[in-house]
Amino acid sequence: AQSVTQLGSHVSVSEGALVLLRCNYSSSVPPYLFWYVQYPNQGLQLLLKYTSAATLVKGINGFEAEFKKSETSFHLTKPSAHMSDAAEYFCAVSDRGSGNTGKLIFGQGTTLQVKP
């Protein structure tokens, strides 16, 4: 069964600093991986997804993630943090274990705090 682990439930950076949010996956087959962002009292918004086309995936709002099979990682980065990036970030994997449902399995989430 697929799973994802997000390292660090809380990450704090200064405005303008590099953002690095860590996600490691567990999968016996090549996975489909996603990053979502959730602002307070809102739904989830897709930042980017990996579906094996390219290992470096660019998303919205200046975010990108690199799929590294050797490290079973899919870390999310942004070169320069903005105050508006403060939110909850979820890494997710598409479950391949229960038919072709595409059920998403989420990590526990990482809260990003951006300090002025």
Count CB atoms within 10 A of the CB of residue 98. Answer: 9
Count CB atoms within 10 A of the CB of residue 96. Answer: 18
DSSP characters over 1-27: --EEEEE-SEEEEETTSPEEEEEEEE-
The residue (of 29 and 83) whose beta carbon lies closer to another protein is 29
- Minimum gap (Å) between residue 12 Cβ and another protein: 17
Count CB atoms within 10 A of the CB of residue 67. Answer: 20
Contact with another protein (CB under 8 A) among 7, 17, 24, 44? 44
The residue (of 28 and 41) whose beta carbon lies closer to another protein is 41
Encoded one letter per residue, x for contact with another protein by CB under 8 A and - for no contact, window 85-104 reads -----x---xxx-x-xxxxx
Count the residues in the chain: 116
Instruction: Looking at residues 17 to 36 of the shown chain, list those that interact with another protein (rule: CB under 8 A).
Output: 32, 34, 36
Contact with another protein (CB under 8 A) among 14, 26, 45, 61? 45
**Degrees (nearest 5) of the Cα angle 53, 11, 107?**
50
> Which positions lie near another protein, rule CB under 8 A?
32, 34, 36, 41-46, 49, 51, 90, 94-96, 98, 100-104, 106-109
